[in-house]
Amino acid sequence: MTYCVGIKLNAGLVFLSDSRTNAGVDHISTFRKMICYEQPGDRFMVLLSAGNLSISQSVREILQIEELQEANGGPPITIWNAKSMFDAARVLGSAVRHVYDRDAEALKHAGLDFNVSFIFGGQVKGEGMRLFLVYSAGNFIEATTETPYFQVGESKYGKPVLDRVLTPETPLDEAAKCALVSMDSTMKSNLSVGLPLDLVVYEANKLQTDRVICIDAENPYYRMMHNSWGQKLREVFDSIEDPVWDDSASAHPLKMPAARHGALRKISTPEEKLI
C-alpha cells in the first residue's frame, strides 16, 4: 500500500509520498511513488501514484512519450508541450487508458483489478498552478479553494489534521509540516506505509524548485517532529477534563437529565427480555 498527498495553496504546492510497497507480510519493498517533470522557466509538474506498482510504473514510462492527438488536426500534445496543466492531465489520462487497453484483460485473467490512481500537479508558463486527482479510468477532478488537497492510497489516518489545518492561505512551510504530520499519523496506524519519504515544495510562479528531499529515519527534522507530535497530542489529551457523572460537580457534565435526552432502558431480569 502507500500514502501520497498533494496540497495546493496560494503560495505554492506541496507533495509528499512514502515509498513502501507491500505484497504480503514477508515481502515488503521500497519503490518511489513520486516523479518530477521540469523544464526550468517553462513548466514544473509532479506525479504521485498509488495502486498496482506495475500499472503505475507503466503509466509513468508511457507518459513521457504519450501523444494526445487533437480532433482539429493540430499537433499532438505531450506533457512537454502542453499549453496548460489541464492538457497535461489529459495526456496522463490517455496514458492510463493506453495501459488499460494493453494490460487490463491479462490482469483480469490473473484475478487482479486495474487498480491505480494519481495526484498530478504543477504549473505551466502562462497560467496558474493546478492540482488534479486522476482515477483508474483516466478521468480526473481538480482541486478547488474548498478542497485544497488530494490524497491517494491509505488516506484515512492522515486526513483529520489536513482538514483542521489547511486553508488556501496556509504558508508553504506550515503546509509541509502538516503533510509530514499527516504522513506520520498514517505510518503510526498502518504498517503498509513507511519510510523513506519524498517531499517536494514548489513556490508559485517559479517554474522550478530546489526544495526536493528524501527523508529517512535519521532525518533530524523528521525525528523531532515525530517525537513532538506524539508528546503534544498526549499533553492536549491530558488537558481535557475527564468525564464527570455528577451534573452538579462540573461546568461540563457528561450526564444530563434523563427527561431531556431520554434514558437507555436497562434489562434487569431474564423475564424482562421477553417483553
How many Å apart are CA 96 and CA 193, to the nearest integer? 24
Average of per-residue pLDDT values in the chain: 91
Q: Are 207 and 128 in contact (CB under 8 A)?
A: no
Q: Three-state DSSP class for 206?
A: coil
Tell whether 98 is covered by a domain: yes
C-alpha cell read off for 32: 518511489
Q: Pairing between strand 140-142 and 3-8?
A: unpaired
Tell whether 172 is covered by a domain: yes
Tell whether 191 is covered by a domain: yes
Q: Are 119 and 48 in contact (CB under 8 A)?
A: yes
How many Å apart are CA 234 and CA 211, to the nearest integer? 32
Domain count, the chain: 1
pLDDT band at 1 (very low <50, low <70, confident <90, very high): confident
Q: Identify the CATH number of the domain in which residue 161 sits.
A: 3.60.20.10
pLDDT tens digit sequence for 225-261:
999 999 999 999 999 988 887 766 667 777 766 555 5
Tell whether 22 is covered by a domain: yes
Least confident window among 98-107, 205-214, 257-266: 257-266
Q: What is the pTM of this model?
A: 0.90
How many Å apart are CA 4 and CA 2, to the nearest integer? 7
Tell whether 261 is covered by a domain: no
How many Å apart are CA 44 and CA 49, to the nearest integer? 17
Q: Is the pLDDT of residue 28 over 70?
A: no
Q: How many CA atoms lie within 13 A of 256 on its CB side?
A: 7
Residue type for position 215: I
Can you say whether the dihedral through the CA atoms of 20, 160, 9, 144 is positive or negative?
positive
Tell whether 257 is covered by a domain: no
Question: 12 is in which domain, residue-wise?
Answer: 3-216
Radius of gyration of the chain (CA): 24
Tell whether 190 is covered by a domain: yes
Least confident window among 22-26, 178-182, 185-189, 238-242: 22-26
Tell whether 273 is covered by a domain: no
